[in-house]
């Protein structure tokens, strides 16, 4: 994004500040600087392929409407379709290796049985992770996070979701520490947004490195009816992620009021995409990054010509 901290309005904060300065002189200058300073608390990742429109196209588990989710081919095709970020899920193998997989159990998206945590990496690598989607993808394996980072480094930003099943109360040698070490190994720390439904993982990540970008994935039972801005402040995070089904008008108003970066999942409807973009969200997770890209381009073209 050309200005990450201005994602909740049609015009950037820079333009707003300039207008105020011209109109009201030094008083406006002070106000604008204060507001900009306040907004810089949100540390979001840089994009490798930023198109400058202050909106992020996020491929949900890759281009997963067309390819088996969380596989290398889904990630590769997402880049080809114009995604600016890829969302992927991280679990842990029996022998403590971070792997890219969504479900706790293997049977739905591989030819394996039982739970991911019962398989070593060597055993997981023998599984077919593509035929469930289409037999022509039988060559697809479960990727390790390291393999995904090797592909993404210098290529595309990531949203790494740490699955609740992999989280424990332990920070030392926990999933968060292992993931963070790999991210730094590949120089991706400024290009990754971490997230989790488990608020322990959120706290662990910020404790391990306060400078990494972390989003809170809204989970009702842990939130105690707090408003989005209250949760963002409580957990010291940089963004708020939630389902489009959860995004009430009251929440959107609250997020916009506090200039909180907001990411919404999982949207494959053109009409819903248009509505969310108009509402000022920062980015959308979609299984169809090509469709979202065309919607974003059309929206900005229409905004320019209005």
Which positions are annotated as active-site residues?
60, 102
Residue 283 pairs in a beta bridge with 56, 263
For 259-279, b/e burial (b = at least 16 CB within 10 A) is bbbbbbbbbbeeeebeebbeb
**Distance between CA atoms of 226 and 244, rounded to whole angstroms?**
18
Report the distance separating Cα 260 and Cα 202, nearest Å: 17
Bridge partners, residue 60, by sequence: 87
CB 207 within 8 A of CB 170: no
With beta carbons less than 8 A apart as the criterion, state whether 62 and 77 touch: yes
Tracing tokens 């290529």 back to the chain, one arrives at: 155
**Which DSSP string do the residues of 29-94 spell out, in sequence order?**
HHHHHHHHHHHTT---PPPTT--SSS-EEEEETTTTTTS-TTSHHHHHHHHHTT-SEEEEEEEE-T
Residue 286 · residue 266 · CB < 8 Å: yes
CB 26 within 8 A of CB 33: no
Element (H, E) at 17: helix 13-24
Task: Tell the residue number behind the tokens 């309005």, with chain if given.
Answer: 9
In sequence order, the 6+-apart residues with CB closer than 8 A to the CB of 305 are: none
């Amino acid at each position: 994004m050309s200005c990450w901290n201005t994602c909740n309005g049609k015009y950037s904060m820079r333009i707003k500040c300039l207008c105020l300065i011209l109109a009201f002189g030094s008083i406006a200058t002070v106000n604008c600087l204060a507001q900009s300073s306040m907004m810089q608390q949100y540390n979001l990742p840089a994009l490798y392929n930023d198109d400058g429109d202050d909106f992020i196209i996020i491929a949900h588990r890759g281009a997963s409407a067309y390819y088996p989710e969380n596989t290398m081919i889904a990630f590769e095709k997402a880049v080809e379709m114009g995604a600016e970020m890829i969302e992927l899920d991280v679990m842990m193998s029996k022998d403590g290796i971070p792997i890219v997989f969504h479900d706790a159990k293997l049977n739905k998206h591989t030819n394996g049985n039982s739970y991911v945590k019962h398989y070593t990496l060597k055993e997981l690598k023998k599984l077919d992770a593509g035929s469930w989607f289409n037999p022509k993808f039988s060559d697809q394996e479960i990727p390790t996070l390291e393999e995904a980072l090797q592909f993404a480094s210098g290529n595309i930003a990531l949203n790494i979701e740490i699955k609740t099943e992999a989280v424990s109360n332990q920070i030392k040698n926990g999933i968060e520490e292992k993931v963070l070490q790999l991210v730094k190994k590949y120089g991706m720390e400024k290009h990754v947004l971490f997230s989790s439904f488990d608020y322990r993982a959120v706290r662990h990540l910020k404790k391990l490195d306060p400078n990494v970008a972390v989003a809170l994935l809204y989970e009702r039972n842990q939130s105690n009816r707090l408003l989005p801005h209250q949760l963002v402040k409580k957990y010291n995070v940089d963004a708020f992620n939630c389902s489009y089904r959860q995004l009430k008008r009251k929440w959107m108003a609250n997020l916009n009021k506090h200039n909180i970066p907001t990411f919404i999942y999982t949207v494959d409807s053109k009409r819903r995409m248009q509505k969310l973009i108009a509402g000022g969200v920062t980015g959308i997770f979609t299984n169809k990054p090509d469709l979202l890209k065309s919607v974003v381009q059309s929206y900005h073209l229409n905004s320019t010509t209005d």
